[in-house]
């Protein structure tokens, strides 16, 4: 899904729906790029985010390729020509059922939990 020239407005209802469904998972929500994204507590890595009225989820490059080729998901390319290769986009139809949305979030959390923790940025010393 390319949105390079026209970034969609975030669906606030979808944001609230995800929050209500993932409450038991070790995740936290942060604002990013004018939308909301969820990060895994254990390694501080993003695993999903609201994109318009759909979601993008992190499933790994190999799985993303398989899902895109099969038509189960779309390529997530928010900047046009620079796809986020570990992520796929799921439109509102693919996540209309809560059980489907939870399954995708859990799938993304499963993959993301296998990745090393995000490195903390070193604080610059004042001179």
Question: pLDDT class for 2, splitting at 50, 70, 90?
Answer: very low
Angle between helices 98-112 and 12-21 (to 10 degrees): 70
- pLDDT tens-digit profile of 26-63? 899 998 878 899 999 999 999 999 999 999 999 999 99
Question: pLDDT class for 1, splitting at 50, 70, 90?
Answer: very low
Average pLDDT over residues 75-85: 91
| Cα-based distances in Å from 52 to 72, 93, 112, 119 | 18, 13, 22, 29
Q: Give me the residue spans of the domains in the chain.
A: 1-83
Higher pLDDT: 36 or 123? It is: 36
d(CA 93, CA 53): 9
Cα dihedral 45→75→35→110 (10° resolution): -30
For residue 122, the model assigns a pLDDT of 66
């Amino acid at each position: 899904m390319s949105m390079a020239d026209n970034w969609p407005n975030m669906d606030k209802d979808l944001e609230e729906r995800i929050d209500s469904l993932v409450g038991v998972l070790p995740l936290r929500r942060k604002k990013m790029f004018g939308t909301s994204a969820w990060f895994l507590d254990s390694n501080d890595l993003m695993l999903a985010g609201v994109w318009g009225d759909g979601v993008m989820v992190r499933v790994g490059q190999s799985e993303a390729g398989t899902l895109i080729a099969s038509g189960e998901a779309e390529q997530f390319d928010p900047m046009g020509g620079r796809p986020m290769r570990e992520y796929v986009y799921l439109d509102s139809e693919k996540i209309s059922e809560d059980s489907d949305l939870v399954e995708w979030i859990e799938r993304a959390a499963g993959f993301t939990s296998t990745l090393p923790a995000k490195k903390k940025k070193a604080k610059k010393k004042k001179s």
